[in-house]
Amino acid sequence: MAHLIPEVPGVLTADQVAQTAASIAAMQEPSGAVPWTPGDKVDVWNHVEAAMAMLVGGQVEAAERAYEWVLRTQRADGSWPMKIVAGTVEDHSGETNMSAYLAVGVWHHWLVRRDRAFVDRFWPAVRAGLDWVVSLQLPSGGIAWSQEWAEGRPARINTDALLAGSSSIHHALAAGCALADLLEDPQPEWEFAGARLAHALRDHRDLFLDKSEFSMDWYYPVLGGAVRGEAAEALLKERWDVFVEEGLGIRCVRENPWVTGAETCELVMALEANGDRDRALQLFADMQHLRHENGSYWTGWVFPDQVNWPGEQTTYTAAAVILAADQLSRTTPGSDIMRGETLVTFGDLGARCCGSADARSVAGVS
């Protein structure tokens, strides 16, 4: 099945987007794994994002090989190792937002390819991954960010919830529920968990681990779909002047004079999803100074020193560029994946569960 390659007039041509997709495929390992850079680590979240981008950019065979790698590396409990280098697991811990993200990739694949056999093949892995993630939901509604492994088996749960990670899980649960509807295989536990999580992300963000120095903690509730409309506008306004560097992109970390391409493109998608197209287009154009002549993208730019740092082009940055280009241009049906019009939305069940009790007492926080 052929589809058009995205282009953003005046910013990126379709040929340039295809070149960027090819730059990701060029770094793919023989196993199908997509590392951050050649010889670097692989994690399933960034790997799936790369597969989504390669599919959009015309690298269909490479994308399919990437998805097959996901099936081979899932563990019996539904999780994936946090860090794999050259086929060897270097960190056995399971991170919840990583293990949830396959649902987003499979729904995206369905939107682009309409391949029911693919969905059927990957549904058991999606279901196992989200079941594991939901099992780690906390009383506050957030999701414990990881589970350590010891002696080859799951061990201690790290019970802090991360705002960005839980926002990504909200997105994955919405995609998982959309898949469940497609397959007529209802998952009420996911819907309940998604509603509780949405309520926490909208009304109790103070209960999450404070990582406010990172820009991801600022915009991810919008990107993940939990916060939209006027509430999203207000949230993005709060720290716009803290993180956005005019003409360059956005900072990854508040204190560091360093703009990064992936975070900038994620903010682009959050803005566009909330209807703020003009600022989304401007930021997307601003970050193109990170483009390498071979179509890949430098990770970031330290603007006082006028230097790219680190000195490498990352697959996750290139992937974010392609997905942002597709969303801005609405070229493929997959361009809705962050906007979320095809996803399940969670109502106010979480608020009703919260009831009259203060969320702090429910979560055991004084």
- Per-residue confidence (pLDDT) for residue 354, from 0 to 100: 57
pLDDT of 264 reads: 99
Write the CB contacts of 345 (distance below 8 Å, at least 6 apart in sequence).
174, 225
What is the identity of the amino acid at 305? D
Cis omega (within 30 of 0) on the bond before 188?
Answer: no
SS3 (DSSP) at 231 = helix
Sequence-distant (6+) residues with CB within 8 A of 93 are: 81, 82, 146, 147, 148, 149
Per the prediction, the chain carries an average pLDDT of 94
Report pLDDT for 352.
53
Handedness of CA 187, 191, 194, 200 (dihedral sign): negative
Q: In this predicted structure, what is the pLDDT of residue 208? A: 98
Q: Are 36 and 65 in contact (CB under 8 A)?
A: no
The predicted pLDDT at position 365 comes to: 32
Instruction: Supply the Cα-derived Rg of the chain in whole angstroms.
Output: 19
Burial class from Cβ neighbours inside 10 Å (0-12, 13-18, 19+) for residue 188 reads exposed
When the candidates are 3.90.580.10, 3.30.420.40, 1.50.10.10, 3.40.50.720, the CATH number that belongs to 14-211+311-351 is 1.50.10.10
Number of residues written out for the chain: 366
Residue 358's pLDDT is 39
| pTM of this structure | 0.95
Query: Which stretches of the chain score pLDDT less than 70?
Result: 1-2, 348-366
Task: Say if residues 326 and 8 touch (Cβ distance below 8 Å).
Answer: no
8 Å CB contact between 8 and 284: yes
Q: What is the largest CA-CA distance in the chain?
A: 58
pLDDT at 151: 80
pLDDT (0 to 100) of residue 3: 74
- The domains of the chain are located at 14-211+311-351
φ, ψ of residue 307 to 5 degrees: the values are -145, 140
User: Taking a C-beta distance cutoff of 8 angstroms, is the pair 68, 74 a contact?
Assistant: no
